[in-house]
Structure 1
Amino acid sequence: MPVVVTGTLIFLIIGGAGVAVLALALLGTELLHVGGVDLDGPVSVEAVAGFAGAFGFGGAIVNELLGGRTGGAIAAFPVAWFAARLSRAARRMRTDPTPTRGDLVGALGLVVTPVPANGYGEVRVRVAGQPVKLNARADRPIPMGAQIFVVEALSETSVHVETY
């Protein structure tokens, strides 16, 4: 028994492929960015994928309802425009700078594992609003629960502290 491929099925396949490519592009897989992120040309991959998805699903709906084959284009252009705007906004989104070890100096915190003299204990401080647990050294012993002040960042994961 031969398989009959209808226009609706073809439109659904086009729409599914467009949505799959759009999802991959928006999730940052760098799909088809052969030379670099900014080398898409005048039209982004997201816009083409959005156009294909809307064209396919819009065409399937129109084909089933009216028997026509041009309805997908009506939905495709606004969806492609929206996908291009969304991807451009995501790429240009401002973010806070990544905290560095210099941001540890001056932080206040608590001792969570006692700090012995000339040995390491553990402290919890807040860096950029996030709690961070670090190895800590001190000139004299500091008991658990004591408030501390970071005097020096010895590395990204260890600090020199004094009681506050």
Structure 2
Amino acid sequence: MLRHIDTVQVVATGTLVFLIIGAAGIGVLALALLGTELFQFGHADVDGPISLETVAGFAGAFGFGGAIVNELLGARTPGMVLGAAVGGVLAAVPTGWLASRLSRAARNMRTDPTPTRDDLVGAIGLVVTPVPVGGYGEVRVRLAGQPVKLSARADQPIPIGTRVFVVQALSETSVHVETY
């Protein structure tokens, strides 16, 4: 007859320390990549020689790599824990380098310039709310490929559904239009 035996597996103290370091590193890395400006020192646009993402990626890989090696070695002596730490460093160096490269690439990614009111001039749109003389109606135009609804003025009344041409940008949200 087999008896039910409950077993509890004990995690080595070294493994637990490595896991805590790894979890802290991954948590800081996630916050840093999300742009929370955690631990921002000095001017926000100046990045030091080693970014926060690099340090966090290194710490995360060091902790988890060290925990894996520690468990594989069954490290219970200080010398074996030191060997696990070396294994953690071997995992952490390429991970820190990769985190540095990826975060730099994300920060320096080229994007289209932000559209300004000058980009509205010449846009063709459609009247969605009738434009009265001396008052405002609404038009929908495409700006940088996106539909934008703007307040519109005109020299003569323009009914709903009429195609229009933006002659002048009165502000970022209002334009002067003519029929197209």
Which band: TM-score by shorter chain? over 0.9
* Residues 5-154 of structure 1: pairs in structure 2 closer than 5 A: 6-37=13-44, 39-67=46-74, 68=80, 69-70=84-85, 71-154=87-170
Deviations 1:118-148 (A, max 9, x none): 1111000011111000000111111111000
Secondary structure, counterpart of 1:141 in structure 2: coil
Q: Is the 8 A contact 1:18 1:53 kept in 2?
A: yes
**Cα distance, 1:38–1:97 mapped onto 2, change above 3 Å:** closer
> What is the CA distance between 1:163 and its match in structure 2?
0.5
State how far apart, in whole Å, the 1-side matches of 2:115 and 2:67 are.
Answer: 50
- Name the CA shift for 1:104/1:41 in 2 (closer, same or farther; >3 Å): closer
CA distance in 2 between counterparts of 1:38 and 1:140 reads 49
Deviant stretches of 4+, over 3 Å: 37-41
Aligned residues: 162
Q: Specify every segment of 5 or more residues in structure 1 that has no aligned partner in the other structure, as ranges.
A: none
Query: What is the CA–CA distance in structure 2 between the aligned matches of 1:123 and 1:38, rounded to whole Å?
Result: 39
- Aligned partners of 1:33 and 1:39 also within 8 Å: no
The 1:158–1:44 alpha-carbon spacing in structure 2 relative to 1, beyond 3 Å, is same
CA gap of 1:121–1:96, structure 2 versus 1, over 3 A, is same
Q: Please report the TM-score for the alignment, with normalisation by the length of structure 1.
A: 0.92
* AA aligned opposite 2:157: P
Look at both structures and tell me which one has the larger radius of gyration over its CA atoms: 2
Q: CA RMSD in A?
A: 1.7
Identity between Structure 1 and Structure 2 (%): 77
Which SS does the other structure have where 1:57 is aligned?
helix
